[in-house]
Structure 1
Amino acid sequence: MKVIFLQDVKNQGKRGQIKEVPDGYANNFLIKNKKAVYASPENISKLNGQQNLEAKKAAEILEEAKQLKNKLASTKTIVQFSEHVGPDGRLNGSVTAKEIADQLAKQFNLTVDKRKLQLPQPIKTIGLHEVPAKLHTQVSAMIKVNVSELN
């Protein structure tokens, strides 16, 4: 019997996959536990519609990430910080990924999740720094951060 998997089933199939399985297994386990449905023409067309919708959403998200990358790559997009500096030239405190994300929103109205910023350690020195950001699985960008001394 052909079924469409509604969720992943170990050693059988993944969500959205159409597969031939034994009748008893399909009726007594998969369909009964709502892990699969019969592969009728209506269900197959529903599946195709869902897959098309998911593909469109994924393409939109990718396009948004590319647009955000272009905005971040602009020469005008430099996040400015003014911090207190100690006598040794190091910051009193540090600039974290959360602060960078907040300043991006405040200065440029660009929303970037702090978890997407790949800052290995907080910035503790003055000067121009580049912070990598993974905006999407296929899109990465560099955010320029300028830390200056507060007068």
Structure 2
Amino acid sequence: MKVIFLQDVKNQGKRGQIKEVPDGYANNFLIKNKKAVYASPENISKLNGQQNLEAKKAAEILEEAKQLKNKLASTKTIVQFSEHVGPDGRLNGSVTAKEIADQLAKQFNLAVDKRKLQLPQPIKTIGLHEVPAKLHTQVSAMIKVNVSELN
């Protein structure tokens, strides 16, 4: 019997996959537990419609990430911080990924999730720093952060 998997089933199939399975397994386990439906022409058509919709959404998300990358790559997009500096030239505190994301929203009205910033350690020195950001699986960007001494 051909079924369309509604969710991943270990060692059987992935969500959205159409596969031939034994009748008893399909009726008594997959369909009963709403893990699959019969592969009727109507259900196959619904599946194709859902897959097309998901592909459109994925393309929109990718395009948004590319646009955000272009805005971040602009020479005008430099996140400014003014911090207290100790006598050895190091910051008394540090600049974290959360603060960078907040300042991007405040200074340039760009929404970047702090978890997408790949900052291995908080910034503790003054100067210009580049912070890598993974905006999408296919799109990465560099965010320029300038930390200066507070007057």
Q: TM-score, normalised by structure 1?
A: 1.00
Residues 20-75 of structure 1, C-alpha deviation per residue, up to 9 Å, x if partnerless?
00001000110000000000000000000000000000000000000000000000
CA-CA distance at 1:149 after TM superposition? 0.2
SS in 2 for 1:33: coil
Partner of 2:55: 55
SS in 2 for 1:28: helix
Partner of 1:4: 4
Q: Give unmatched runs, 5+ long, in structure 2.
A: none
- Separation in 2, partners of 1:53, 1:34: 22
Cα RMSD over matched residues?
0.3
CA-CA distance at 1:105 after TM superposition? 0.3
Identity %: 99
CA-CA distance at 1:7 after TM superposition? 0.4
- Separation in 2, partners of 1:31, 1:100: 49
Q: Give unmatched runs, 5+ long, in structure 1.
A: none
Partner of 1:144: 144
- Separation in 1, partners of 2:29, 2:117: 44
- Separation in 1, partners of 2:29, 2:85: 66
SS in 1 for 2:28: helix
Alignment of 1:2-41 (within 5 A): 2-41=2-41
Q: Which runs of 4+ in 1 moved over 4 A?
A: none
Aligned length: 151
SS in 2 for 1:13: coil
SS in 1 for 2:111: coil
- Separation in 1, partners of 2:33, 2:80: 55
